[in-house]
Structure 1
Amino acid sequence: MPGTSTRPAPRLFNRSSWPEARRIADILRKETIGGALLLAAALAALVWANSPWAQTYQDLRAIEVGPAALHLNLDLATWAADGLLAIFFFVAGLELKREFVAGDLRDPWRAAVPVAAAFGGVVVPALVYLAIAGPAGAGQGWAIPTATDIAFALAVLAVIGRSLPDALRTFLLTLAVVDDLIAIVVIAVFYTAHLAVLPLLAALVPLAVFGVLVQRGVRSWWLLLPSALATWGLVHASGVHATVAGVLLALTVPVLARGKRNGPARAGLAEHFEHRFRPLSAGVAVPVFAFFSAGVALGGLSGLTGTLTEPVAAGVVAGLLVGKPLGILAATWLVARFTRATLAEGLAWIDLLGLAVLAGIGFTVSLLIGDLAFGADSAAQVKVAVLAGSVAAALLATVILRLRARVHRRVHEEESADSDADGVPDVYQSS
């Protein structure tokens, strides 16, 4: 009818902005190295734990260090899980806050898709696990297959998905970060056996001090580190998993800084801290945790097969390999269905299927939740299942994404060649 305007249907995974595309490419380059170190550390632990010197590996994990007076005389394996992974979650918190405050996902429409997919990728694998392992006895392991390993998944994506559209790579990165933040909430709520309220309340004091300092633009480590360590120590003493402190600290860091009154927005400390701590997280914290967590005796081929047929192990593998992609695809389809959105030009649902399968790599956080659910000494079959499910997801995702690599590579090369002297592809300047 005359005088009426038809609003175009929304598109899923429209092209990211050029700054966002450059940022994602930079993260992928760093995570490629971190992912390789993670795999090397996990392989070294597996080889050592299945060698004639396996007992020395267990003895190394059990070495206790730290001040006993502060109840921090922890073994090395616990230091890796509670201490080093706090750095990992600090970086994840920074990334998520930056994405929603200053990144492309400050647009609610762009944010809705990965957030919905992340929740779908948590609920469905948990249900798949419970359907196989059963709610009684082994039910406490329901959260094991719900997490996506950022370093491992992005390392695989960096190798096989270099030509993948930037919007899809941003989708996987954001999904993995939201997924890990959901995981840390799950850990805090469902895997806190004994809660000491006073230390938890006391942790708010150094957390507030840290927040005031970073809001004022303080970067000096000798001013920030004491309050950060105090926050971590008090959260650890409260019975809540200490990695929660990493997220809480990250959420206090400003993403944007402003100059004088009404001045333009400038990058805040979040970007600075992310550049400083991402190499430490990807290159040290996660690989060291993988080394102390992945060492499990496989018992040969027959022992491996027998372990994977156990209900708990089968539930974990099915949750990662089937539940995770099914939940992500279902949630994304529902968003498209209720908003009448269509995929961006050049994309097909098989592209999303490949990313959804890749999200089934649940290495780092899945191992952590497995230890919390069943205890470090009795979670051998969980570790085997996480390793098997993650490797299978990586291989299957490689096959799926390779099927589309030629199409995306041709488009990527054409767009890269079509650029001005400033090096920015014209397609970004015109969008």
Structure 2
Amino acid sequence: MKVTTLFKEFFESEKSSGIALIACTLTSLFLANSNFGDSYQDLFHIKIGSHSIGHWINDGLMAIFFLLIGLELEREIYKGELSNIKNAMLPIFAALGGIVVPAGLYLFFNYGTPTQSGAGIPMATDIAFALGILSLLGNRVPVTLKIFLTALAVIDDLGAIIIIAIFYTKSLSILNLGIALGIFILLLAFNRLKVRNLIPYLIGGVIMWYFMLNSGIHATITGVLLAFAIPFGNGDKNSTSYILQHFLHKPVAFIILPVFALANTAILLSGNIQETLSENYSIGILLGLIAGKPLGIFILSYATVKLGFCKLPPGISWKSIFGVGLLAGIGFTMSIFITLLAFENETIINNAKLVILISSLTAGILGFFTLKQTLKK
């Protein structure tokens, strides 16, 4: 199977990003629970303009992360795994199973309670960590499995973005939303007029981000909209989309995601962990990520192949599909991101982050050893 240079760059940057995320998470946990803990946490509450540093990271820098995800999704649709409807059906249905089943398990324990808004937490997959662990298995991993996991994770993130836009919008300003969408339409017009210079798109994207931020819809959605406004052309190395995606790989992998980890994993390891894990929202997150993800991905993949909607790619077995499903249970970045939107109580947020770390670590270890036993050397 032909693999593009850009996909190799994306895979390598995500793999390296996973290592950087682990280092930053351990650093953040250490500092938060050291004698400097209060000073470290206060750092992210310092105001710059009308927003705190933490707010700028989560609403500003993460919009750039979503821009990269949008560009990768666009490339998958036009030239990658999703460009062929027959090939696209398997990761689409797998991602759907990996969204619906974990959310269902979470709601089973939390429906009708104040924490039911956390149903989006176990839906997400952290691309960087999932691909990072897959890469540890070296050459035994078939290219088709790398592409399947990437496509699955990108679609998964798209699902999370849609859920954020629909279910985590608490108030809505029609005027600001209208202006933001008006700018988006203007950028689409630039695209149709074959304006290839990046400058007007980036300026328009910043203005669109500002109005989206003030509309009530989470500002990171701007990143995905901007990605689809930027000209793709034929997708070669001279296309505007390719140039921007190539440029963003390293800043996102080694600056934006690590900074997000530093800001959002300052978790206080105090209190009774057993008591924390027995909370309904904790059980929902644990079961959603560790059991719901692999079961949802496997069951819908198996059903759609047996019904003839799609076929299993060469080099991939059902055991490896289940192993990839376990890796998809590494929620981390996206799960923490949704936690910040779902809850307002600081104790619940802190506990949920801890449970996400435990769940993601467990899913990653199980996925690694399952695939190690499954994939031939």
Q: Which TM-score bucket, shorter chain as reference?
A: over 0.9
Q: Which of 255, 269, 272 is residue 284 of structure 1 equivalent to?
A: 255
1:381 aligned residue: 351
Q: Which of 40, 47, 59 is residue 30 of structure 2 equivalent to?
A: 47
- Per-residue deviation at 1:354? 0.8
2:205 aligned residue: 228
1:218 partner amino acid: R
Q: Which of 229, 232, 246 is residue 255 of structure 1 equivalent to?
A: 232
Q: Structure 1's 151 and 345: CA in aligned 2 closer, same or farther, altered over 3 A?
A: closer
2:303 partner amino acid: L
2:365 aligned residue: 395
- Per-residue deviation at 1:239? 0.6
Q: Structure 1's 179 and 344: CA in aligned 2 closer, same or farther, altered over 3 A?
A: closer
1:329 aligned residue: 298
Tell me, yes or no, if the aligned pair for 1:24 and 1:166 is still in contact at 8 Å. Answer: no
Cα distance in 2 for partners of 1:266, 1:43 equals 37
- SS of aligned partner of 1:33: helix
1:54 partner amino acid: G
Q: Deviations over 1:344-387 (max 9, x none)?
A: 55532111111000000001111011111112724111101111
Cα distance in 2 for partners of 1:296, 1:153 equals 22
Cα distance in 2 for partners of 1:276, 1:326 equals 36
Aligned pairs for 1:267-346 within 5 A: 268-299=239-270, 303-339=272-308, 343-344=312-313, 346=315
Unaligned runs of 5+ in 1: 1-16, 67-72, 259-264, 410-431
Cα distance in 2 for partners of 1:266, 1:187 equals 33
Q: Structure 1's 314 and 204: CA in aligned 2 closer, same or farther, altered over 3 A?
A: same
Q: Which of 119, 140, 145 is residue 142 of structure 1 equivalent to?
A: 119
1:347 aligned residue: 316
Q: Structure 1's 52 and 331: CA in aligned 2 closer, same or farther, altered over 3 A?
A: same
Cα distance in 2 for partners of 1:48, 1:39 equals 14
Tell me, yes or no, if the aligned pair for 1:232 and 1:242 is still in contact at 8 Å. Answer: yes
Q: Which of 177, 197, 200 is residue 200 of structure 1 equivalent to?
A: 177
TM (norm. structure 2) is 0.94
Structure (1 or 2) with the larger CA radius of gyration: 1
Tell me, yes or no, if the aligned pair for 2:144 and 2:316 is still in contact at 8 Å. Answer: no
Cα distance in 2 for partners of 1:346, 1:274 equals 29
Cα distance in 1 for partners of 2:135, 2:212 equals 35
- Per-residue deviation at 1:157? 1.3
Cα distance in 2 for partners of 1:245, 1:118 equals 22
Q: Deviations over 1:107-129 (max 9, x none)?
A: 10100000111111000000111
Q: Deviations over 1:124-176 (max 9, x none)?
A: 00011112234322111111000001111111112225421111111110111
Tell me, yes or no, if the aligned pair for 2:165 and 2:217 is still in contact at 8 Å. Answer: yes
Unaligned runs of 5+ in 2: none
TM (norm. structure 1) is 0.83
Give the number of aligned pairs. 375
1:19 aligned residue: 3
Q: Structure 1's 200 and 340: CA in aligned 2 closer, same or farther, altered over 3 A?
A: closer
- Per-residue deviation at 1:23? 4.3
Tell me, yes or no, if the aligned pair for 1:207 and 1:249 is still in contact at 8 Å. Answer: yes
The root-mean-square deviation of aligned C-alpha atoms, in Å, is: 2.0
- SS of aligned partner of 1:78: helix
2:233 partner amino acid: L
Q: Percent identity?
A: 35
Tell me, yes or no, if the aligned pair for 1:161 and 1:401 is still in contact at 8 Å. Answer: no
Tell me, yes or no, if the aligned pair for 1:195 and 1:239 is still in contact at 8 Å. Answer: yes
Cα distance in 2 for partners of 1:184, 1:344 equals 27
Q: Structure 1's 231 and 307: CA in aligned 2 closer, same or farther, altered over 3 A?
A: same
Cα distance in 1 for partners of 2:328, 2:138 equals 13
Cα distance in 2 for partners of 1:102, 1:267 equals 15
1:384 partner amino acid: L
Q: Deviations over 1:20-59 (max 9, x none)?
A: 4x54333221112211111111111111111122101221
Q: Does 1:82 align with 2:59?
A: yes
- Per-residue deviation at 1:273? 1.2
Aligned pairs for 1:101-250 within 5 A: 101-214=78-191, 216-221=194-199, 223-250=200-227
- Per-residue deviation at 1:334? 1.1
Q: Structure 1's 81 and 183: CA in aligned 2 closer, same or farther, altered over 3 A?
A: same
- Per-residue deviation at 1:284? 1.3
Tell me, yes or no, if the aligned pair for 2:237 and 2:243 is still in contact at 8 Å. Answer: no
Q: Which of 36, 49, 71 is residue 19 of structure 2 equivalent to?
A: 36
Tell me, yes or no, if the aligned pair for 1:321 and 1:393 is still in contact at 8 Å. Answer: yes
2:39 aligned residue: 56
- SS of aligned partner of 1:286: helix
